[in-house]
């Protein structure tokens, strides 16, 4: 039973509720049962950002909803546009925290992690936490520590705000004018969604916020909501082994694992998680990962100049993955100021890849997106956090 609470922060957050929970809420309010589905569609199909937008719900019902529940709609705070089409969004939560989502249009089908080869691929990388507890040495988000988990509604709302922004831009382009105020604020969403693919690779370790991530997937995959295909969503982990196993059993979406090193000595320095679950435990979990409907695990390998990018590393990596039905994404490091790691350069990247290919390991290069706009994970949010601190007298 959902409690009737008066304090705003303690009211149930509507966008995080499942359809079944909305049904309970609507029932408790004495409304007709079909209102729950109508409300769910406003929240997740149209991505409504406010109660006012829900025009076919009776006004008294909307007013009671606003009293008994809340809509934790995100606000687009800053957008950076790259020359390659990447758009990086900094979004503000209701309690004033900053997170990031990165829109990447048109990924090369050869690089993509899904089988929808036809048409344009428009991928959004979403955040799952404010900051992160995992402490990876090459990552800007890690410097924030973990501030808090995002709710399922906040994870899903990144998709709805960006969809609305993209739709507004497309409409404005057609008209040949700038987006209107309501459009720019992310309102006026129709049912269509410009985004085709999602990757949970933004700020935070998704499997460290397991319950909210699973709920957000339920919402985003729902036929009455955004209706994504599970084949078009990838969740990434730095290697939380117990939750990987659970995720494999409880979800059908795809998994990517950040490996980034070939010995525990090296990986433990870059990624503290390795000290708890080492490479052997990680690979064991991947071997046991259920390959439902042909999904295969992707390994992400960020190449750091002079750290993990040698020929020996490539040889060791192929030996580790030998016989596993996996794919490796090689990612040249997107340099973060002050962290002390460098981009390996194109020649090193290709030499590394060749060693893998020669040893029959499927290896793709994931091009760095938005190099001109600080698109590496956490750069924009950390920058915003510093600005906020500096503004406090
Ligand atoms: S790389 Fe991912 S898991 Fe590691 S600290 Fe950054 S956000 Fe967290």
Burial of 213 (0-12, 13-18, 19+ CB in 10 A): buried
Q: Are residues 150 and 104 in the same domain?
A: yes
The atom number, within ligand 1, closest to the CA of 208 reads: 3
Whether residue 207 has its Cβ less than 6 Å from ligand 1: no
- Strand 146-149 versus strand 129-131 pairing type: antiparallel
| DSSP secondary structure of 260-329 | --SSHHHHHHH-THHHHS-HHHHHHHHHTS--GGG---EEEEEE-TTTT-SHHHHHHHHHHHTT---EEE
pLDDT of amino acid 375: 54
Ligand 1 atom 3 nearest Cα: 205
CA distances from 170 to 101, 166, 226, 285, 297 (A): 19, 6, 19, 43, 34
Whether residue 257 has its Cβ less than 6 Å from ligand 1: no
pLDDT of amino acid 173: 81
Q: Are residues 132 and 97 in the same domain?
A: yes
Whether residue 304 has its Cβ less than 6 Å from ligand 1: no
For each of the chain's 393 residues, which pLDDT tens digit applies?
444 444 677 889 999 999 999 999 999 999 999 999 999 999 999 999 999 999 999 999 999 999 999 999 999 999 999 998 899 999 999 999 999 999 999 755 544 445 444 567 899 999 999 999 999 999 999 999 999 999 999 999 999 999 999 999 888 887 776 665 544 444 444 556 789 999 999 999 999 999 999 999 999 999 999 999 999 999 999 999 999 999 999 999 999 999 999 999 999 999 999 999 999 999 999 999 987 767 789 999 999 999 999 999 999 999 999 999 999 999 999 888 889 999 999 999 999 999 999 999 999 998 777 666 665 667 777 777 666 656 544
**Residue 2, domain member (yes or no):** no
Backbone angles phi, psi at 21, to 5 degrees: -70, -35
> Cα separation of 362 and 318, whole Å?
10
Q: Are residues 255 and 302 in the same domain?
A: yes
Whether residue 297 has its Cβ less than 6 Å from ligand 1: no
Q: Which tokens sit at 208? A: 């460290």
| Residue to substitute in 132, 209, 213 for testing ligand 1 pocket (most ligand atoms within 8 angstroms of CB) | 132
Domain CATH number, residue 364: 3.20.20.70
Whether residue 203 has its Cβ less than 6 Å from ligand 1: yes
Residues labelled as active-site residues: 100, 377
CB atoms closer than 10 angstroms to residue 95: 10
pLDDT of amino acid 382: 74
Q: What proportions of the chain, in percent to the nearest 5, are helix, strand and coil?
A: 40, 15, 45
Q: Are residues 63 and 91 in the same domain?
A: no
**Residue 166, domain member (yes or no):** yes
**Residue 1, domain member (yes or no):** no
Q: Are residues 315 and 255 in the same domain?
A: yes
Nearest to 52, CA basis, from 36, 41, 66: 66
Q: Are residues 32 and 99 in the same domain?
A: no
CA distances from 204 to 174, 225, 237 (A): 37, 24, 9
* Three-class secondary structure of residue 52 per DSSP: coil
Number of domains the chain is built from: 2
* 8-state DSSP, 96: S
Sole residue written with tokens 């404005």: 172
Global pTM reads 0.90
Sole residue written with tokens 């091009």: 367
pLDDT of amino acid 338: 85
Intra-chain end-to-end CA distance of the chain, in Å: 45
Residue 44, domain extent? 8-68
Q: Are residues 163 and 57 in the same domain?
A: no
What lies within 8 Å, CB to CB, of 118 at 6+ separation is none
> Cα separation of 281 and 278, whole Å?
5
Q: Which of 49, 68, 87 is the last residue of a domain?
A: 68
| Residue to substitute in 100, 129, 136 for testing ligand 1 pocket (most ligand atoms within 8 angstroms of CB) | 136
């Amino acid at each position: 039973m959902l409690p009737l609470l008066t304090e705003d922060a303690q009211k149930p957050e509507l966008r995080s509720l499942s359809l079944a929970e909305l049904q309970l809420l609507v029932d408790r309010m004495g409304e007709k049962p079909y209102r729950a589905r109508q409300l769910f569609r406003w929240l997740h199909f149209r991505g409504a950002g406010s109660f006012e937008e829900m025009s076919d719900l009776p006004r008294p019902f909307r007013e009671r909803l606003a009293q008994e529940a809340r809509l934790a709609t995100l606000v687009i705070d800053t957008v950076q546009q790259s020359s390659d089409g990447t758009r990086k969004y900094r979004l503000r939560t209701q309690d004033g925290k900053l997170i990031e989502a990165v829109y990447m249009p048109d990924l090369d089908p050869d690089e993509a992690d899904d089988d929808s080869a036809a048409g344009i691929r428009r991928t959004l990388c979403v955040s799952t936490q404010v900051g992160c507890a995992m402490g990876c040495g090459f990552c800007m988000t890690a410097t924030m520590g973990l501030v808090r988990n995002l709710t399922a509604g906040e994870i899903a709302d990144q998709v709805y705000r960006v969809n609305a922004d993209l739709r507004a831009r497309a409409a404005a382009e057609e008209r040949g004018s700038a987006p209107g105020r309501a459009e720019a604020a992310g309102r006026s969403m129709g049912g269509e969604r410009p985004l085709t693919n999602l990757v949970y690779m933004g700020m935070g370790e998704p499997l460290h916020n397991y319950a909210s991530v699973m709920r957000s997937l339920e919402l985003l995959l729902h036929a009455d909501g955004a209706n994504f295909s599970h084949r078009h969503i990838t969740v990434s982990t730095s290697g939380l082994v117990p939750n990987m196993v659970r995720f494999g059993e409880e979800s059908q979406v795809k998994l990517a694992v950040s490996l980034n090193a070939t010995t525990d000595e090296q990986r433990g320095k870059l990624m503290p998680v390795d000290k708890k679950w080492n490479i052997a435990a990680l690979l064991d979990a991947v071997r046991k990962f259920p390959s439902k409907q042909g999904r295969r695990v992707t390994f992400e390998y960020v190449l750091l100049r002079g750290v993990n990018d040698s020929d020996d590393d490539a040889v060791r990596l192929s030996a580790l993955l030998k016989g596993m039905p996996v794919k490796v994404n090689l990612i040249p490091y997107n340099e973060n100021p002050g962290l002390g790691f460098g981009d390996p350069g194109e020649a090193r990247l290709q030499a590394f890849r060749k060693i893998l290919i020669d040893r029959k390991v499927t290896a793709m290069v994931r091009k760095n997106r938005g190099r001109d706009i600080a698109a590496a994970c956490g750069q924009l949010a950390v920058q915003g956090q510093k600005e906020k601190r500096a503004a406090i007298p």
